Amino acid sequence: MSATEIGTGVVVAVVATMVVGMLVWLRREVLRAWHRRRPADVGVRPLPHVPPGVTIPAALPHVAAAFEHVVSEPWAVALEGALPDAGAFEASKPSPAEAHDWLRSHGAVDFRETKLRLSLASRTDELIVVRDIRVGVEHSEPWAGTYVYCPTAGVNTATLLMFELDEPAPRAWQWDEDGSRRRVGSVPFFEHQNVTIASGEVHDFVIIGRAESSLARWRLVVELEVGGHKKTLLVDDDGDWFTTSGAPKSGFAIRLHWAWYAGGRFLPEPDDKL
């Protein structure tokens, strides 16, 4: 091969490399311009690991979000009045989780603590930054009708955030939960850090809302940045507020156990309260 041919080959290779580089640069700039013209929207949709039957509004294209209630023993709920007739339900020998669902379907709300798992998934090439998660909350007197408690029958990789719902403007504090709970840090979580979600990634948050002295009706407000555009995602209980009741000053009129240990039925609370 002559020196001229070698030189021509080198020139062709250099030109080809420059053309490929320009095409990559042009594609990136077109995508950026498109996102500037049409900012990413945020929606709520079920993710693959969300149990069937969870009703969540349809998503918009760029961010997928889903939540589910986390129910594990021990749990406790409050009813505004007396326990509905449970004879037929008890006869079906339900599990503690089914008892919790049945009580909620008959108007019960979580007592002292509501636990959610919130999953955010990227559906865009742009980096998503979770700038803040806070709650909007309304307060009233806690319910004093019926208290139902289910004792327990027996390393969380998600980010565990707890909100004290009795406060006027609850902030997200990070906690560790590995058998016992321990608060992490001396300032609220989002005061000194963000959570980034790259393309194709999913990040789980375990959200705990706690109420000690009020009936708190609340929803999550997630502040996002998607491709440089600020977005706000509202997460609620299928169009309604999450509701968590604290302890009434006068005490409950009725106190019951979900007695899984007695065949699965509602019984008066034992004298040796757990």
Nearest partner of 207 among 171, 232, 231, judged by Cα: 171
pLDDT at 219: 92
227 belongs to a structural domain: yes
pLDDT at 50: 41
Q: Tell me what the pLDDT averaged over the chain comes to.
A: 79
Nearest partner of 268 among 260, 259, 258, 256, judged by Cα: 256
109 belongs to a structural domain: yes
Q: Are strands 195-197 and 109-111 parallel, antiparallel or unpaired?
A: unpaired
With contact defined as beta carbons under 8 Å apart, do 174 and 189 qualify?
A: yes
Mean pLDDT of 247-254: 94
Mean pLDDT of 225-254: 90
Mean pLDDT of 74-101: 92
Least confident interval from 37-46, 61-70, 75-84, 138-147: 37-46
223 belongs to a structural domain: yes
Residue 181 confidence (pLDDT) above 90: no
- Tokens for 2, please give them: 């002559």
Quick: pLDDT tens for 124-134.
888 888 999 99
Least confident interval from 33-47, 72-86, 198-212, 225-239: 33-47
Quick: pLDDT tens for 8-64.
555 555 555 555 455 544 544 443 443 333 333 333 333 344 444 443 433 445 777
pLDDT over 70, % of the chain: 73
Query: How sure is the predictor about 157, in pLDDT bands with cuts at 50, 70 and 90?
Result: low
Number of domains the chain contains = 1
Nearest partner of 112 among 250, 248, 246, 267, judged by Cα: 246
Mean pLDDT of 179-185: 76
Which has more confidence, 65 or 210?
210
User: Range of 214's domain?
Assistant: 63-268
Query: How sure is the predictor about 213, in pLDDT bands with cuts at 50, 70 and 90?
Result: very high
- Tokens for 236, please give them: 């609620």
236 belongs to a structural domain: yes
56 belongs to a structural domain: no
87 belongs to a structural domain: yes
For 71-103, b where at least 16 C-beta lie within 10 A, e where not — what string? beeebbbbbeeeeeebeebbeeebebeebbebb
Mean pLDDT of 231-240: 87
57 belongs to a structural domain: no
pLDDT at 28: 47
Query: How sure is the predictor about 229, in pLDDT bands with cuts at 50, 70 and 90?
Result: confident
pLDDT at 103: 96
116 belongs to a structural domain: yes
Least confident interval from 100-109, 197-206, 250-259: 197-206
| Pairwise CA distance, residues 253 & 82, whole Å | 8
Question: HSE-up of 155 (CA within 13 Å, CB side)?
Answer: 0
